[in-house]
Structure 1
Amino acid sequence: MEEIPDLNIFMMCPSINREALTDLPEGFHVRNLRKEELDIWMAMPFDDPETAKEYKPFMEDFFHTTYGGQDELFFEKTLVVCDKYGEPVATCLLWKAYGRFSTIHWFKVLPSYEGKGIGRALLSIIMKDLKQEDYPVYLHTQPGSYRAIKLYSDFGFDLLSGDRFGSRKNELEESLAILEKCMPKQEFYKLKITEAPEDFKEALESVTTVQF
């Protein structure tokens, strides 16, 4: 398969589909990220050590821009799924971007652990106890994450239409053409598109940093 470009996709969950919730498979457990594991966390989004090394300055900048001054809260919010040896194999956190919007950050399952139900269970843990005032929940992703997009859709996330959110162009139309090729047709046609709320669009007009 040809390389899939990193285009911007934005999604929003107005309310959870509780039928999507599952438990962790046997042999895995969830806990908070530990301070001494920050470098491990920074490398987890990338599938090989060289790419992780290349993007480490980006991850450090994102960490300081988004979580700086709230380190304790970051480690409290960041969950990792561990195997039977206690090694992190997946991570995710829910964060109030710009202090206003609930957003999913850095949802990742290591490739060798994909297909075991870990990602669905982790997203279940993140979202199952959210209160009504925590919604809607937003996230940013790319068409290369089409398996995750299917999962997000199961939980109730819709694709957001609109030209631009903050400093980033919304590249939904280009992404849809890619998703149609990559996703099973029955899953692609389940995707829903909705207009972003006005308060979300207006709030992002004035931001100068990327926090989700």
Structure 2
Amino acid sequence: MEEIPDLNIFMMCSSLNKDALTHVPKGYYVRSMREDELDIWASMPFDDEATAKEYHSFMMEFFKTVYGGNEKLFFTNTLFVCDEQDRPVATCLLWKAYNKFQTIHWFKVQKSHEGKGIGRALLSIIMKEVPNNEYPVYLHTQPGSYRAIKLYSDFGFHLLTDKTIGTRQNDLIECLPILEKWMPSADYNNLKTTEAPLNFKESLKSFITLEF
């Protein structure tokens, strides 16, 4: 199978498209993450056990750097969608990066549970939590997450066109042909672009750590 390169894509939602909202499908429910489930959370972004083990130390360092000192808030805000046996099958976190900007972290649905409406339902819950006066909402993703990018677009996220976001290069120009190849034409053609607000870009220049 062709490997999609791990490049940077940034997106922003200035206002929620309420038509995208939906409910959790039957047989699943949503709860906050428990403190004894940190290893489960750390493995969820990855599709196989070997990759999860390879990146475990990275996930633990990210947890320590970004959420350290606010662990209680992290566990409360990190949502799990669980099956009827209380097994987490999807996760997402709304986090105020640098205590300034609302951001989406670690949105993931396990491959065995894709296509059931779980991701849309979870993102519906997350996005409804954002007060109107705290938009825009930002996120960082990769072209390999083209299915999620379609979903983000449905909720009102636009692709950011700025060449850099904070300390990172924005690879949108390189990613667009990849997205066009992998996404259904209608979904790709519905993608919208915009520039990041000046205050957002200027604020990020003062931070070295990556919080989204």
Q: TM-score, normalised by structure 2?
A: 0.99
Partner in structure 2 of residue 156 of structure 1: 156
Provide the identity percentage. 66
**Aligned residue pair count:** 212
Q: Which consecutive residues of structure 1, in runs of 5 or more, have no partner in the other structure?
A: none
1:1-212 equivalences under 5 Å are 1-212=1-212
Matched AA of 2:65:
T
- Secondary structure of 1:16 counterpart: coil
Matched AA of 1:9:
I
Matched AA of 2:124:
S
Return the alpha-carbon distance in structure 2 between the equivalents of residues 78 and 2 of structure 1.
32
- Secondary structure of 2:80 counterpart: strand
- Secondary structure of 2:55 counterpart: helix
- 1:125-175: CA deviation from partner (whole Å, max 9, x where unpaired): 111242112200000000000000000000000000111111210000000
**Structure 1 residue 208: deviation in Å?**
0.6
Which has the larger displacement, 125-134 or 179-188?
125-134
Return the alpha-carbon distance in structure 1 between the equivalents of residues 93 and 56 of structure 2.
19
Return the alpha-carbon distance in structure 2 between the equivalents of residues 20 and 132 of structure 1.
17
Return the alpha-carbon distance in structure 2 between the equivalents of residues 60 and 79 of structure 1.
18
Q: Which consecutive residues of structure 2, in runs of 5 or more, have no partner in the other structure?
A: none
- Secondary structure of 1:92 counterpart: strand
Return the alpha-carbon distance in structure 2 between the equivalents of residues 97 and 22 of structure 1.
26
Return the alpha-carbon distance in structure 2 between the equivalents of residues 200 and 154 of structure 1.
23
Matched AA of 2:14:
P
Return the alpha-carbon distance in structure 2 between the equivalents of residues 101 and 152 of structure 1.
17
Matched AA of 2:8:
N
Return the alpha-carbon distance in structure 2 between the equivalents of residues 89 and 39 of structure 1.
14
Return the alpha-carbon distance in structure 2 between the equivalents of residues 184 and 109 of structure 1.
20
Q: CA RMSD in A?
A: 0.7
Matched AA of 1:76:
T
